[in-house]
Amino acid sequence: MLVCLMLLPIIGGVLAWLLSRWNRAAAHWVALLAMLLQFALALGLWIHFRAAMRLSTHGPWLLECRYPWIPQAGISFHLALDGMSLLLLLLTSLLGVWSVLASWQRLQARMGFFYFNLLWALAGISGVLLAVDLFLFYFCWEVMLIPLFFLIDIWGNEKRHEAAMKFFIFTQAGGLFLLIGILGLYFINGRGSFDYSILLGTHMPLLTSGWLLLCFFLGFAVKLPVVPLHTWLPDAHTQAPVDGSVDLAGLVLKVAAYGMIRFMIPLFPAAATYFAPVAMTLAVIGIIYGALLAFAQTDLKRLVAYTSISHVGFVLLGIFAWNGLALQGVLLIVIASGISAGALFVLIGALHDRIGTRDLERMGGLWPRLPGHGGVWLFFTMATLGLPGLGGFIGEFLVLQGTFHVSPLFASLATIGFILSVVYALRMVLRIFFGPPSRQDSLPALSGREWAVMASAILLTLWLGLYPQPVLDTAAGAVRQTLLPAPSSYSCSYSNSNASSHRVLSRSKSRMKEQEKMMKEGRP
């Protein structure tokens, strides 16, 4: 079943490319069917294992498979699934369905090759979420890069070539740092294996661990992205087709957070404790910087891109707080922001199709001329700024609560992002729908396919905001297993650390037993 989760988009992409030569409509349906099957399979696994995940009656993995690949180098095709990766797989397949639906009428040129690249990028993301052999993980990590490059370079807007090249250079450079870190860990471990379970707990000097942690961090920080490594993202979003932006904002940014939680901190726990104040400082800077830059944008896609940078600041903050509350909040932010950002990009594409621009300065008075469009836009704008009752609020609240136990200062500074998000979000809605009218002609309402995407996104956002417990239960066992290596990392001497680092680490240490007890009881 794990192999099928990876193969479905691969096979679907190849079939869509081949069938498009004879029947263009068949390419749409094959791509949609492949993503629906992947979503159905992931949903079936979630329903089947839900009780086991809630009660933590399973081992570290719900499902696991291993096949020899390059045994001479210690490389295997090793896949495994837990609650955390299952939730992100559900998000991946859902946004894949939305991407196909959003491109249904918009896509005209080279349709088959477009779906080939779209589905292979989704296959790479699925592989990243399932791989527990670090060589396989890196292979899937790089598989994402090339299809996304083609999506931007071929089907993007006017400056697509520059944006695609910038995206490629940044992400390739980050990938090279990640490869250096993986190879360094492999040789230091000395057991001739890239398997995560074997590399976990590798003994090494603290300085060596710190350099390897930095390599992993740079590799993940570029794709998250962390300020100041974020400059490729606004250009990529602005020039990418809507369908590519849905995947960029909803998925590519999120797998970097997954890599930090799954691999980076568990592999280098001692070094991560010393690096935590630096990472949390970058997180707070990103929250405030992204919100301020979002306020200054006039292009809608650039505006939403900068809101993504602000949101991933909360993600980075929660990851380095490293307790059960914060990690549960990170997963909820990842899911909720993936849904709301994906829906906003679909709405931006629909609006651009109708009025021919994404420039805020050329919009205004659209509320009466776009029936239903304004209400849906307002809903997802509120979801983006973290309105109580919607999914983003729960995630950000848990991250701030978990961070407060570690560092009240960082948690307090991060709340500035809430105030700034209200400013840029309401400015956007007021300018588009209630500003001075820019035109008087009537505009078509949302189509049936667009309403299908919006209705599903609205229901999921309300569900995450009003009753997130099923998601928290699903992630509880995986988060508890992830936190298990952490206590040993807090036993090292802090004599050489600075005062800020000491405060962060001492608070983390005092909370560890309490967090483990909470996770065992099934509480977030």
Of 83-97, 193-207, 346-360, give the lowest mean pLDDT range.
Answer: 346-360
Q: Please report the pLDDT score of residue 493 as a whole number.
A: 29
User: What is the average pLDDT score of the chain?
Assistant: 84
Contact 76, 68 (CB under 8 A): yes
Residue-wise pLDDT tens digits, 456-493: 999 999 999 999 998 988 888 888 888 875 333 333 32
Contact 115, 104 (CB under 8 A): no
- State the angle between helix axes of 145-155 and 134-143 in degrees (0 to 180), rounded to the nearest 10: 0
Closest CA to 108 of 25, 198, 199, 223: 25
For the record, the structure tokens of 146 come out as: 């090339």
Q: Please report the pLDDT score of residue 294 as a whole number.
A: 87
Residue-wise pLDDT tens digits, 252-268: 778 899 999 999 999 99
Q: Does pLDDT of 27 surpass 70?
A: yes
Q: Please report the pLDDT score of residue 127 as a whole number.
A: 93
- What percent of the chain lies above the pLDDT cut of 90? 36
Distances (CA, A) of 335 to 264, 394, 464: 21, 11, 9
DSSP states along 112-134: HHHHHHHHHHHHHHHHHHHB-BH
Q: Please report the pLDDT score of residue 423 as a whole number.
A: 84
Contact 153, 229 (CB under 8 A): no
Q: CB 362: neighbour CB atoms within 10 A?
A: 12
b/e burial code for range 129-168 (CB count within 10 A of at least 16 → b): bbbbbbbbbbbbbbbbbebbbbbbbbbbeeebeebbebbb
The residue among 497 and 369 whose pLDDT is bigger is 369
Q: CB 176: neighbour CB atoms within 10 A?
A: 14
Q: Does pLDDT of 444 surpass 80?
A: no
Q: Please report the pLDDT score of residue 485 as a whole number.
A: 54
Q: CB 79: neighbour CB atoms within 10 A?
A: 25
Q: CB 331: neighbour CB atoms within 10 A?
A: 29
pTM, two decimal places: 0.86
Distances (CA, A) of 414 to 223, 310, 396, 419: 21, 10, 10, 10
* Residue 440 confidence class, pLDDT cut points 50, 70, 90: low
Q: Please report the pLDDT score of residue 517 as a whole number.
A: 54
Query: Within 13 Å, how many C-alpha atoms sit on residue 477's CB side?
Result: 22
Residue-wise pLDDT tens digits, 387-412: 888 888 889 899 999 999 888 999 99
Contact 496, 305 (CB under 8 A): no
Q: Please report the pLDDT score of residue 523 as a whole number.
A: 53
Mean pLDDT of 44-66: 77
Distance CA 392, CA 423 (A): 17
- Give residue limits of the domains in the chain: 275-524
* Residue 503 confidence class, pLDDT cut points 50, 70, 90: very low
Q: Please report the pLDDT score of residue 487 as a whole number.
A: 34
Q: Please report the pLDDT score of residue 510 as a whole number.
A: 46
